[in-house]
């Protein structure tokens, strides 16, 4: 009897040990999902223009103080310039106000990978692009590619959820109709219309545009909605690339008999395009072309990202992307 009792006790101990080991193993593989936000921005090399980008990050941080926010630049050229500057002691000494994460900025893939390596497996990638064109569509492909990674064991999947928000003017699909996003942008830019009215001028925006995708359609619908919302101000838009170009814009201004304009970038930052292509001294800048045509130009060298009402659009789009995918940002 004593032998059987000892055997049963030993067996029970063995079972408990094995069960405990199983719990430890399960505990080791139990994942605690951690959230993060990546702000995917085209970027800029112009230091004063960084205000537009940093203001958007500030608004995101205010909305979600418990969620890490990282900036990524989608432009390869702009990142290379910052990489060169980061290696230049003279530049760093002369520009101490440039944040370290701008000086050492990475692309979306590297930024997402670094977060994943730190244990963040639930990530909202919020673009700060204006229209659903080349940069935005490429970003969606990056995320789609990362989401296609399938591991043999589900617990080793690199991401729990990796999702993309909408650009400012919205994108395609029934869940968030793009026309509502366009109207939200129109509402956010009420101060631009008020300035043009005060100046007794038309309001002209310079968008970036694209030669490969029809971003011009979004811009033209935005133009029409601005005119409906602010009928006392004639709003026009043209783009640096693609349609509608400067020639198209000038034809409209001439047809409407416009003699004075408030000229402003339809861009998150007032960077190189705004300082040179839009308001620069060269004869082919928009300001020079309009001035030569007898139009008085009031240039505004501020990016849309500097306006809190516009920055809040990206806060909302990040919130929508999270809510649509069952992600709770804090």
Q: 122-127 and 296-299: which strand pairing?
A: unpaired
Are residues 125 and 38 in contact, defined by beta-carbon separation less than 8 angstroms?
Answer: yes
Helix (H) or strand (E) holding 39: strand 35-41
Parallel, antiparallel or unpaired: strands 122-127 and 161-164? parallel
pLDDT of residue 26: 46
- Span 88-98, mean pLDDT? 96
> Is the confidence at residue 11, as pLDDT, over 50?
no
- pLDDT bracket for residue 64 (50, 70, 90): very high
CA distance 220 to 243: 9
Check whether 13 has a pLDDT greater than 70: no
Residues 182-188 have a mean pLDDT of 98
Residue count of the chain: 330
Q: How confident is the model at residue 30 (pLDDT cuts 50, 70, 90)?
A: low
Edge-to-edge, what's the strand order for the sheet holding 122-127?
69-73, 35-41, 122-127, 161-164
For 231-261, the pLDDT digits (tens) are 999 999 999 999 999 999 999 999 999 999 9
Q: With bands split at pLDDT 50, 70 and 90, how would you rate the model's confidence at 19? A: very low
Q: Is it the case that residue 94 has pLDDT exceeding 90?
A: yes
The Cα 186–Cα 207 span in angstroms is: 15
Query: Within a 13 Å sphere around the CA of 258, how many CA atoms are in the beta-carbon half?
Result: 29
pLDDT at residue 293 in the model: 98
Q: What is the mean pLDDT of the chain?
A: 92
Q: How confident is the model at residue 211 (pLDDT cuts 50, 70, 90)?
A: confident
Q: What is the pLDDT of residue 29?
A: 55
Model confidence at 173, pLDDT cuts 50, 70, 90, reads confident
**What domains are there in the chain, each with its CATH number?**
35-174+309-324 (3.40.50.1400), 190-304 (3.40.50.1400)
Asked if pLDDT for residue 92 goes beyond 60, the answer is yes
Q: pLDDT of 273-308, one tens digit each?
A: 999 999 999 999 999 999 999 999 999 999 999 999
Close Cβ partners of 44 (under 8 Å, ≥ 6 residues apart): 50, 52, 53, 78, 269, 271, 272
Can you tell me whether residue 164 is helix, strand or coil? Answer: strand
How would residue 18 be classed by pLDDT, with cut points 50, 70 and 90? very low
**Calpha distance 307→189 (Å, rounded):** 8
Q: Which of 99, 172, 100, 160 is nearest to 133 (CA)?
A: 172
d(CA 113, CA 297): 46
């Amino acid at each position: 009897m004593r032998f059987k009792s000892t055997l049963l006790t030993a067996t029970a101990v063995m079972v408990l040990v094995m069960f405990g080991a199983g719990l430890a193993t399960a505990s080791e593989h139990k994942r605690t999902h951690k959230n993060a936000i990546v702000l995917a921005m085209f970027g800029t090399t112009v230091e004063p223009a960084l205000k537009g980008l940093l203001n958007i990050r500030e608004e995101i941080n205010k909305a979600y103080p418990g969620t890490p926010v990282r900036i990524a630049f989608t432009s390869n050229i702009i990142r290379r310039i910052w990489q060169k500057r980061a290696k230049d002691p003279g530049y760093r000494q002369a520009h101490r106000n440039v944040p370290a994460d701008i000086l050492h900025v990475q692309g979306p893939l590297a930024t997402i990978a670094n977060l994943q390596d730190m244990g963040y497996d639930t990530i909202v990638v919020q673009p700060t692009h204006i229209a659903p064109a080349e940069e935005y569509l490429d970003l969606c492909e990056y995320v789609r590619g990362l989401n296609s990674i399938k591991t043999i064991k589900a617990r080793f999947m690199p991401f729990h959820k990796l999702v993309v928000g909408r650009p400012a003017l919205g994108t395609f699909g029934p869940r968030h109709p793009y026309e509502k996003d366009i109207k939200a942008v129109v509402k956010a830019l009420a101060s631009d219309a008020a300035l043009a009215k005060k100046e007794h001028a038309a309001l002209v925006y310079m968008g970036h545009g694209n030669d490969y995708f029809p971003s011009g359609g979004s811009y033209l619908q935005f133009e029409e909605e601005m005119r409906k919302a602010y009928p006392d101000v004639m709003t026009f838009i043209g783009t640096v690339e693609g349609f509608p170009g400067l020639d198209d814009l000038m034809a409209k201004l001439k047809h409407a008999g416009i003699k004075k304009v408030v000229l402003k970038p339809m861009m998150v930052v007032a960077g190189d395009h705004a300082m040179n292509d839009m308001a620069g001294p060269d004869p082919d800048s928009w300001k020079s072309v309009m001035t030569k045509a007898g139009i008085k130009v009031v240039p505004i060298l501020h990016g849309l990202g500097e306006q809190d009402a516009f920055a809040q659009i990206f806060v909302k789009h990040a919130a929508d992307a999270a809510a649509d995918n069952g992600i709770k940002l804090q």
